[in-house]
Amino acid sequence: MTDTRLKHYGWGREGEGMSEEERKFVLGRYHVKFGTDEFDTVAVPGLEELSLREPRIVPPASLAPFCTSERYDRAAHTYGKSYPDYVRAMLGNYDSAPDVVAYPRNESEISAVMDWAGSVGASLTPFGGGSSVCGGVEPRVDGIKHKAAVSLDLRNLSKVIEVDSLSRVASIEAGAYGPFLENQLKPHNFTLRHFPQSFEYSTLGGWIATRSGGHFASLHTHIDDFVESLRVVTPAGVLETRRLPGSGAGPSPDRMFIGSEGILGVISRAWMRLQPRPKFRAGASVRFPSFFDAACAVRAVAQAGLYPSNCRILDPQEAFNTGAADGSAAIMVLAFESGDHPWTPGSRVHLSAAPTTAGRRSPRQPGTRISKARQASGATRLFGCPMRANF
Ligand SMILES: Cc1cc2nc3c(=O)[nH]c(=O)nc-3n(C[C@H](O)[C@H](O)[C@H](O)COP(=O)(O)OP(=O)(O)OC[C@H]3O[C@@H](n4cnc5c(N)ncnc54)[C@H](O)[C@@H]3O)c2cc1C
């Protein structure tokens, strides 16, 4: 991660954003989509223009070293990243800004903030990367039970603590952002291989607390698949679930916390199952005349038990918006990978199953079996669905 701080409004770090060329491209697409040359524009208020109420609580001296009520911190912890969040922030509505933002460095500090917040009648909201799209990080104040609000940002707990190469698991602190987490696993030749679209600016704890889904996965899609055990700081103490390869003994305590959005406690770290880094890859983009045709093919791929590493459809509009197509076709991105063996007799059979006459292709991974199989075939149908493949 760079040292540049995250934007208090919007995606990414201060100073980052679309280039003028990218802006023109995106706006050009919107002009076509909405059939107009003109849009009303609203200027986003700058940090100094925001009106924030005076903090209603002040942390005790013991918490002061890692707590703040600075304008930037409060503004940056007011909202997640949903459309309504952006609209309210754009209109300068920061009524729900937290009074205090805490950046604990260990579990004792999490507990201390939890105790203090409880004692002063403040709500406590765990904050990972703040990429929530369902209001999960917005502080709550109801004036009755919660008279003030504290946001608890886990970014200082970001280390991979231990890697067990034999069992392929690692103990990882919950505040690790996706890229930093992967960078720490790389020297061990492992990957968590969990890639929500928000990967760059979301955290392990956030993924677990929201039961997030990875984009580039069809077998291990949800974070649940990777959680071996959890440590959670609760108002009643620290809880650690047992590290088991699997258990059928009653309800799973891990599952109780996975997807709990932080309401039961603060996830401080987790033992996560790892995968070897992929050595062999094969991929293709496949054009379909309609979204429905592409969806039929996805269903067929899923039901065939092929488990591609990536199987994703861009509908014609999304493909158009991203510049991947002209709006007349849906695009399926299909990929296979392995850290163990080249791809594979099974996928070769399936991908070349439908006989074929045409299709524009350019080799993406020359030498992989899928590409070779596909180049040798030239299908117009994938699992019975009309298609056009680009390799
Ligand atoms: C552009 C974009 C793309 C996205 N793509 C995907 C996607 O592909 N797949 C997907 O599933 N979601 C996606 N999301 C939604 C969001 O990124 C996920 O929900 C993500 O898991 C949130 O992680 P975070 O670290 O940002 O958590 P936050 O947004 O900070 O928090 C999310 C929730 O978890 C709680 N929480 C956070 N950390 C902890 C912790 N350590 N202990 C207890 N509770 C905690 C918070 O209180 C909140 O309720 C996307 C969002 C955006 C803006």
* Residue 364 DSSP symbol: S
Mutate to test the pocket of ligand 1, among 101, 106, 131 (most ligand atoms within 8 A of CB): 131
The residues that bridge with 267 in the sheet, in sequence order, are: 232
Ligand 1 lined by 215 (C-beta under 6 Å)? yes
**CA nearest ligand 1 atom 5, residue:** 197
CA–centroid distance, 262 to ligand 1, in Å, is 11
**18-76 pLDDT, tens per residue?**
999 998 988 888 888 889 888 888 899 999 999 999 999 999 999 999 999 999 999 99
* Residue 351 in this model has a pLDDT that exceeds 70: no
Ligand 1, atom nearest to 195 Cα: 8
Ligand 1 lined by 230 (C-beta under 6 Å)? no
Ligand 1 lined by 98 (C-beta under 6 Å)? no
What percent of the chain is modeled with pLDDT above 70? 87
Predicted pLDDT at 342: 80
* Residue 357 in this model has a pLDDT that exceeds 50: no
Predicted pLDDT at 72: 98
Ligand 1, atom nearest to 267 Cα: 42
Using alpha carbons, select from 384, 359, 188 the residue that is nearest to residue 284.
359
Query: Domains in the chain and their CATH numbers?
Result: 20-153 (3.30.43.10), 160-276 (3.30.465.10), 280-390 (3.30.70)
CA–centroid distance, 136 to ligand 1, in Å, is 8
Ligand 1 lined by 211 (C-beta under 6 Å)? no
* Residue 145 DSSP symbol: S
Ligand 1 lined by 223 (C-beta under 6 Å)? no
Q: Which helix (H) or strand (E) holds 210?
A: helix 204-210
Ligand 1 lined by 154 (C-beta under 6 Å)? yes
* Residue 354 in this model has a pLDDT that exceeds 80: no
CA–centroid distance, 192 to ligand 1, in Å, is 17
Backbone angles phi, psi at 175, to 5 degrees: -85, 10
**285-320 pLDDT, tens per residue?**
999 999 999 999 999 998 998 889 999 999 999 898
Q: Kindly report the pTM of this predicted structure.
A: 0.89
Predicted pLDDT at 169: 98
Ligand 1 lined by 178 (C-beta under 6 Å)? no
DSSP 63-131: TGGGEE--HHHHHHTT--SSHHHHHHHHTT--TT--SEEE--SSHHHHHHHHHHHHHTTEEEEEESSS-
